[in-house]
């Protein structure tokens, strides 16, 4: 199927047979959309979509969204979205669209991709919402629409950005909550991560790929690095990168204390390209050089 590029809100509205009233912000009622054909397209703007009833599969990148009644999913500029509606089904959802140009030069524009991880590409879960939360989001969208419909003044766009910020902060609460709701699933991911980290070194993958990375384990478990990192941190209180570092440090200490071990051999066996890189890494996380560590723990050698 051909991939469409919808870079502007006007192009997106036209794609669904709707009239676009503003190039920067739009509230879309998909229940009133004359055209709801399936398709694949890249977005040039942010989309927060509130679904109030299941109406077909939604794919985000290469993964299918896990959602049911009462759910929200979020897309950022440059991401591929595919819609596959069931035959005869009509969407029952509302969407908040806003162009990144609206945020240029603002505090929100600086933090939106770092502070709101649910925009990260490839997350395969929607944010689940109950009826009260649905009404909150609908109310926020309604307030934005009121501002857009009113006569513009010097406060209009600040008010619009404030309401968008409230929506994003509210969704962040849902994002954090889903880690608690998915406790057993998260525990499975954590156990898998621990096993994969152990296997990475026992299978000597570090000699082929170098030091293990969060990106590697995120890919192996089917999550984005950001989502995977958040999941691990909320499960054990330590970020995935810190956990990997801790594992490497413990392994380095063990290898350094083996009979006849050398710093150079230890560095290469752990996946460091150069011994001096290993020495800097070890000193940073242990507080002494590998040589000092060996001497301290083998005072008679």
- Mention every residue, 6+ apart, whose C-beta is less than 8 A from residue 149: none
- Return the axis-axis angle of helices 263-270 and 240-256, rounded to nearest 10°: 150
Model confidence, pTM: 0.65
pLDDT score recorded for residue 61? 42
Tokens 């109310």 -> residue = 139
Average pLDDT over residues 161-179: 90
Query: How wide is the angle at C-alpha 200 spanned by C-alphas 197 and 203, nearest 5°?
Result: 145
CA atoms within a 13 Å half-sphere pointing along the CA-CB vector of 130: 3
Under the banding of pLDDT at 50, 70 and 90, the label for residue 11 is: very high
For residues 128 and 71, is the Cβ–Cβ distance under 8 A? yes
Neighbours of 49 (CB within 10 A): 20
Question: Which has the closest alpha carbon to 294: 268, 266, 275?
Answer: 266
Backbone angles phi, psi at 151, to 5 degrees: -65, 130
In the structure encoding, which two tokens stand for residue 168, read together?
């994003």
How many other CB atoms sit within 10 Å of the CB of residue 296? Answer: 9
- Res 210: pLDDT: 92
CA Rg, the chain, in Å?
25
Q: Find out whether 30 and 92 touch, Cβ atoms under 8 Å.
A: yes
Average pLDDT, the chain: 84
Q: What is the mean pLDDT of residues 12-17?
A: 91
31-80: per-residue pLDDT in tens? Answer: 888 777 777 888 899 999 998 765 444 444 444 544 455 788 888 888 87
Tokens 């599969």 found at: 57
Q: What share of the chain is helix, strand, coil (3-state, %, to 5)?
A: 55, 15, 30
- Indicate whether 301 pLDDT > 50: no
Pairing of strands 80-85, 3-6: unpaired
Quote the DSSP letter at residue 152: P
Mean pLDDT on 90-114: 88
Given this model, what pLDDT does residue 300 score?
45
Between the CA of residue 270 and those of 162, 191, 196, 242, 258, what are the distances in Å? 49, 22, 15, 16, 14
> Dihedral through CA 36, CA 42, CA 48, CA 51, nearest 10?
30
Best-predicted range by mean pLDDT (67-81, 172-186, 215-229, 244-258):
244-258
Q: Which of 25-34, 62-71, 135-144, 238-247 has the highest mean pLDDT?
A: 135-144
Q: Which residues pair with 93 in a beta bridge?
A: 51
């Amino acid at each position: 199927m051909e991939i469409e590029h919808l870079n502007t809100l006007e192009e997106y509205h036209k794609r669904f047979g709707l009239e676009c009233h503003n190039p920067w912000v739009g509230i879309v009622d998909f229940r009133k959309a004359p055209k709801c054909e399936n398709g694949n397209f890249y977005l040039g703007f942010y989309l927060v979509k509130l679904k109030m009833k299941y109406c077909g599969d939604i794919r985000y990148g290469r993964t299918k969204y896990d959602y049911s009644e009462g759910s929200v999913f979020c897309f950022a500029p440059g991401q591929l979205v595919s819609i596959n509606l069931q035959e005869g089904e009509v969407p029952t959802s509302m969407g908040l669209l806003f162009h990144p140009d609206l945020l240029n030069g603002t505090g929100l524009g600086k933090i939106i991709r770092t502070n709101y991880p649910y925009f990260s590409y490839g997350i395969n879960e929607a944010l689940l919402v109950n009826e009260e939360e649905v009404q909150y989001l609908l109310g926020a969208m309604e307030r934005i629409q009121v501002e857009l419909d009113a006569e513009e003044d010097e406060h209009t766009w600040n008010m619009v950005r404030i309401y968008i910020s409230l929506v994003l902060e509210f969704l962040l609460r849902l994002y954090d909550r889903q880690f608690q709701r998915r406790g057993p699933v998260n525990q499975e991911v954590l156990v898998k991560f621990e096993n994969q980290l152990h296997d990475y070194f026992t299978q000597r993958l570090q000699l082929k790929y170098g030091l293990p990375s969060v990106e590697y384990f995120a890919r192996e478990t089917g999550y984005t690095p950001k989502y995977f990192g958040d999941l691990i941190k909320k499960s054990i209180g330590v970020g995935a990168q810190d956990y990997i570092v801790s594992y490497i440090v413990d392994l380095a200490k063990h290898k350094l204390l083996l009979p006849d071990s050398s710093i150079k051999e230890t560095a290469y066996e752990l996946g460091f390209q150069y011994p001096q890189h290993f020495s800097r890494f070890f000193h940073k996380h242990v507080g002494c050089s590998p040589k000092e560590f060996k001497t301290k723990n083998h005072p008679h050698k």
